[in-house]
Structure 1
Amino acid sequence: MTEEHLTAIDLFCGAGGLSQGLSDAGFETLWGIDHEENTKPTYEANHGCEMTVGDIREEDPPDLGLDEGELDLVAGGPPCPTFSLVGRSKINSIDGRDNQSDDRHLLYEDFLRFVDHYQPKAFLMENVEGMLSAENEEGRPVVETIKEQMRGEREVADLDLDLDYNVRVQLLDSADFGVPQHRKRLFFIGNRIGAENPDMEEWKTHRSPSNEDEKDIKYKTDPSKRSEESQHTLDGFVDDREEEEFPTFRKNRRSRKPWNTVADAILDLPPVSPSGDTPPTKAEEYELGPVSEYQYWARDNSEQEDWDEQPLLNHECRGHNMRDLTLYKLLGEGTSYIIGDIPEEHQPYRTDIFPDKLKKQNPREPATTVVAHLYKDGHMFIHPNEARSITVREAARFQSFKDTFEFPVARTHAFKQVGNAVPPLLAQALGTAIRTEIFDRPISQQEPQKAD
């Protein structure tokens, strides 16, 4: 651990998307925990710290070799299915259960228990957008209750906690931070050291396109070939920081780039059935070098001329029957079918249970939200120009995992881990903002990072 690195732990860590982003922002993750046994090979293959498999409700906080209050950050995303609309509908369909009685929505209390134990200077808690509309058994808004508990103004169940944190809650779309995917998540940022919590609106790097041309793939350009004229802003001033590499997170940047799209994210990856095999399955070598700015970053190879020597990991999709492949061909670019609209004889699901869609991803827009349901089928994530569902690597690209991030588990487990993760780029933006504003450690104090 160096003086520049701040310390963190990652609760409900999964594959480690949050750990990865915090690492890229200059934090050193000391420990992680998750209840899914299959996450351990993935986490340990990509992170250099201990990871525990276990039920956090039954785990005591481990000794990190730090004094009380010395840990800088407790981070994590308690899995709370009852706060999501999908989770509520599935729970309510189970005999004898409802979303209020399902105790998984109380896992955030164990997050607070760990915060109380370590008394970190700051915390970062992630959850689903549905928490904003959720109410507890007393009919009070869940978010307001949790904020009161974090401030020490309200008791936490039967726990005797000593919390006194200043808290900010924000709903963020990952596409606004360079992730080629629309994914809205709620973040609680708190600190006990008297600092102002960052307003992430001021840290956004990307925006919706202002015209059709801005939806085109964003080719990476050679900085040496940029003209002086192209570097001038509309105000007539040169902001050379806007020429930084992707991704650079800075507060109050003068201009933001158009959202990264499906094309920016994955269209350099080869077909998974280059010899025409049916069903399509897997490819293990790159056929072309990166083209877009995002693809160069995702390849994570400083010697880009050696791209053909880099192994292509996890570029594998599930097999498809001919009915599915034919249905996929029927879809135009960026279009979808509600399952119930398809003739009964072609239905992939029982329509009384699953109101899902067949969705072909639009290459000119960010991907739709990557979900863990991918481990069961890929009908909502059909490749934009191939008759197949997306691969694990393509899902990982949409989530902003670099190609060097390996998922050394069965394909079904890998899809689930990708879908459950916090996008590393979004985590990096949050970590950078927390590092800069709460801890007063400007990003320049880090070792140089690959910027935006």
Structure 2
Amino acid sequence: MYQPIADIDKWDNATKRYYKEKIEIFIKTVMAVSMKENVSLDVTDDEGAVDLFIEMGFIKQADDLESVKALIKGGTYKEFIKCGTVVAGNRKIYDPYLLKLNESTRKELQRKEAESTKFRLVDLFCGAGGLSLGFIREGCRVVFANDIDDLCIETYKYNHPEILEDDVICGDIRKIVDRIEDYIDEDIDIVIGGPPCQGFSSANKHHRVINDPRNELYKYYIKAIEKLAPKIVVMENVRGMLKVADQVVEDYESICAKKGGQEYHYKISYRLLNSADFSVAQSRERLIYIAIRDDIVERTGTNPDSVFQAIETNGKNATVFNLSAALEGVRPLEPPEVMGVGEVDTEEAGRKIDVNPFDGRENAYLRLINDDRAVPLVFNHKARYCSPINHEIYRRLNPGDDATDPKIADIMPYAHRNDKFKDKYFKLHADRPCRTITAHLRSDCHSHIHPTEARTLTPREAARVQSFPDDYLFLGPYLKTYIQIGNAVPPLMAKGIAHELIKLLGGDENEN
């Protein structure tokens, strides 16, 4: 799981940060499980800890512990050793909770996954893995995933222990696509991704999207398709890209992918889809493109338009869940009144890893996102700092009220700019699907005030609204978890799209 600790002098800062966070996750998980299972943390020696740490991948040999001690603070190191000793003596209790941290367990999962006949999936611009998760739940096997954000990649790796870590790459897609054969040596069934497209706002018939330097990442996404020649492509983007959607269609129809002595072309269509129609407890519109290779179209007699028709028909029959369903089964919190304590765990404001006093199956929505599994620990459920004036604003507002409400006129700090900041504050409706979760939540979260508590949504609550399962842990600094969550495609939405595409591939599974 880690680079050899003996090479610590060669590690960059990101590697060190990730290693230390994994130790933090280990310690906090053990402490939470100990509380839940009533196991004492009082130990007198470190017997068994070294062998455990070697198995888990924290070290390669006993001498490496000196390097670990030099990397982390003394108090943290003592906790690390103590927790390792407790786990070593109680493996049956702790092992199920530490699966994602255990290198030996991960390798066994990866071996089984490599032997499976699942459809082969590539996720470019994978982010924290929302799109991948939906396709995985419908029977796909990720053979390659890429993003340039290192925190997203670490979150992705941690939550997908069945995927080889060497197949999840942090890097610039422009460099990767130019030598993609070094990363992918299998025939690919599906490519998915959401390439950033910054220049669409100025595009017109005389200024093509694919030729705009600001859209170079989109151009390389198209280039990746030409090189990989997948059977199906799914591309998602913002609603604003609708104005150039026909140009995107032309770009896809111009693809001539060559593989195995054959030339392939693509049929493509697009729709504006809303996550609420996939039973996500959120109204979130995304522009979705589906492209199908011409030989698959010919073999199945199906085209992208008919796939979209099936998806939309399913949406009409889908259960609509309100925000209240996503917020049930998490304990109430009090926001901290001191700035800069986002990484500090407290009973009042929440913890990064905590005992879940609930089951994770309290209602139909939670059973859906958690795949009908009990989730004994809760992750990322921490309230963010709230100033006294904002706390009073939150308290006074009713669901549906915004920054222009007269109840807060006397204390509204942005009243002179209400023409531009009307949505600066908004208290959410519990009895409706949540408004769109965005990466902007990192800034202040005023636009997503909890409907019944005087605070904003926690990362866990935002992740639930996005339909991530409760045991999906977001790594990195507290505020940056909001970015990962806000930028993600809701897994349930991805699953609904994947469901129809997997049916389209049908009998090809045996060929895999």
Common fold, TM-score beyond 0.5? yes
Gap change, CA 1:349 and 1:338, over 3 Å in 2: closer
Q: Give unmatched runs, 5+ long, in structure 1.
A: 89-98, 134-141, 155-161, 205-250, 446-452
Q: 1:335 to 1:441 in 2, by over 3 A?
A: farther
Find out whether 1:199 has 2:307 as its counterpart.
Answer: yes
- Is the aligned partner of 1:261 residue 2:322? yes
Using the TM superposition, give the Cα deviation of residue 353 of structure 1 relative to its aligned residue in structure 2, in angstroms: 6.9
Aligned match for 1:145, one of 236, 247, 255: 247
1:358 aligns with 2:417: no
Q: Given the alignment of the two structures, is residue 272 of structure 1 paired with residue 333 of structure 2, yes or no?
A: yes
Do 1:166 and 1:194's aligned partners in 2 also have CA atoms closer than 8 Å? no
Quickly say closer, same or farther: Cα 1:317–1:441, change in 2 above 3 A. Answer: farther
Q: Deviations over 1:328-383 (max 9, x none)?
A: 11211233235999648532598387564311111111111100001111011111
Mapped to 2, the partners of 1:105 and 1:341 lie a distance apart of 45
CA contact (8 A) 1:150 1:163 kept: no
Per the alignment, residue 63 of structure 1 pairs with: 182
Which consecutive residues of structure 2, in runs of 5 or more, have no partner in the other structure?
1-113, 203-208, 257-262, 298-302, 339-347
Among residues 224, 233, 241, which one is paired with 1:131 in the alignment? Answer: 241
Cα deviation 1:285-335 (Å, max 9, x = unaligned):
333334211123334563x4xx5xx11110013110111111111211233
CA distance in 2, matches of 1:83, 1:272: 42
Structure 1 residue aligned with 2:227, among 89, 98, 117?
117
Q: Structure 1 residue 35 and structure 2 residue 35: aligned?
A: no
Q: Conserved in 2, the CA contact under 8 Å of 1:435 and 1:442?
A: no
What SS does the corresponding residue of 2:457 show, helix, strand or coil? coil
What residue in structure 2 maps to residue 336 of structure 1?
A: 402
Question: Which of 371, 383, 393 is the matching residue for 1:317?
Answer: 383
Q: Distance in 2 between matches of 1:53 and 1:434?
A: 27
Cα distance in 2, alignment partners of residues 191 and 299 from structure 1: 31
Report matched runs for 1:16-415 at 5 Å.
16-47=129-160, 48-49=163-164, 50-59=167-176, 60=178, 61-64=180-183, 66=185, 70-83=187-200, 103-133=213-243, 142-152=244-254, 164-192=265-293, 193-195=295-297, 196-197=303-304, 198-204=306-312, 256-273=317-334, 278=337, 281-283=349-351, 284-289=354-359, 290-300=361-371, 302=373, 304=374, 310-338=376-404, 343=409, 346-347=412-413, 351=417, 356-415=423-482
Q: Partner of 1:337: helix, strand, or coil?
A: coil
Once residues 416 and 441 of structure 2 are traced to their aligned partners in structure 1, the CA distance between those partners, rounded to angstroms, is 17
| Contact 1:152/1:163 (8 A) holds in 2 | no
- CA gap of 1:278–1:153, structure 2 versus 1, over 3 A, is closer
Change in 2 beyond 3 A, CA 1:333/1:354: closer
1:8 correspondence with 2:131: no
Q: List per-residue Cα deviations over 1:167-191 (Å, max 9, x = no partner).
A: 0111100100111111100111111
- Between the aligned partners of 1:257 and 1:153, the Cα distance in structure 2 is 35
Task: Quote the Cα distance in structure 1 between the aligned partners of 2:215 and 2:421.
Answer: 23
- Shift in CA distance, 442/339, structure 1 to aligned 2, threshold 3 Å: farther
**Structure 2 residue matching 1:199: 3-state secondary structure:** helix
One-letter code aligned to 1:110: Y
SS in 2 for 1:440: helix
Judge conservation of contact 2:249–2:268 (CA < 8 Å) in 1.
yes
Select the structure of larger CA radius of gyration. 2
Which one-letter code corresponds to 1:413 in the other structure? K
Note the C-alpha offset of 1:40: 1.8
My pick for the range that moved more, 353-362 or 390-399, is 353-362
Amino acid at match of 2:219: E
Q: Displacement of 1:267 after TM fit?
A: 2.0
In structure 2, do the counterparts of structure 1 residues 58 and 338 end up closer, same or farther at CA, with 3 Å as the change threshold? farther
Looking at structure 2, the residues matched to 108 and 288 of structure 1 have their Cα atoms a distance apart, in angstroms, of 43
Alignment CA distance shift 1:323-1:426 (3 Å)? same
**Structure 2 counterpart of 1:52, which letter?**
I
Give the Å deviation of 1:434: 0.8
Tell whether the 8 Å contact from 2:336 to 2:384 is kept in structure 1 after alignment.
Answer: no
Give the residue type in structure 1 aligned to 2:265: D
Partners of 1:298 and 1:312 lie apart in 2 by 14
Q: How far 1:412 moved relative to its partner?
A: 1.3
Task: Give the SS at the match of 2:392.
Answer: helix
Aligned equivalents of 2:272 and 2:378: distance in 1? 34
Residue 299 to residue 149, structure 1, CA distance change in 2 (3 Å): closer
Q: Residues 55 and 179 of structure 1: is their aligned pair in 2 closer, same or farther, counting only changes over 3 Å?
A: same
Letter in 1 for 2:226: D
How many residues in Structure 1 have an aligned counterpart in Structure 2? 360
Counterpart of 1:287, as a letter, is P
Distance 1:15 1:258 in 2: 26
* Conserved? CA contact 1:401–1:424, under 8 Å: yes
Which of structures 1 and 2 has the larger relative contact order (alpha carbons within 8 angstroms, sep 6+)?
A: 1
Question: Offset at 1:410?
Answer: 1.2
Contact 2:126–2:132 (8 Å) recurs in 1: yes
CA distance change for structure 1 residues 339 and 147 in 2, over 3 Å: closer, same or farther? farther
TM-score normalised by structure 2 residue count: 0.64
What's the CA shift string for 1:83-107, capped at 9, x where partnerless?
Answer: 57xxx9xxxxxxxxxx999844342
Aligned partner of 1:387: which letter? Answer: A
Give the structure 2 partner of residue 428 of structure 1: 495
Is the contact made by 1:339 and 1:357 (CA closer than 8 Å) also made in structure 2? no
What is the deviation of 1:51? 1.7
CA distance in 2, matches of 1:73, 1:427: 13
Offset from partner CA, 1:243-285 (integer Å, 9 cap, x none): xxxxxxxx769x7244111011112211123xx9657621523
Q: Secondary structure at the residue paired with 2:182?
A: coil
The share of aligned pairs that are identical, in percent, is 31
In structure 2, distance between residues paired with 1:146 and 1:427:
21
- Change in Cα spacing, 1:112 to 1:347, as seen in structure 2 (3 Å) is same
Deviation of residue 62 (structure 1)? Answer: 4.3
Residue pair 2:463, 2:485 contacting (<8 A) in 1 also: yes
Cα deviation for residue 25 of structure 1 reads 1.1
Tell me the C-alpha RMSD between the 2 structures.
Answer: 3.2
- From the superposition, tell whether residues 65 and 194 of structure 1 become closer, same or farther in structure 2 (CA, over 3 Å): closer
Task: Quote the Cα distance in structure 2 between the aligned partners of 1:129 and 1:36.
Answer: 23
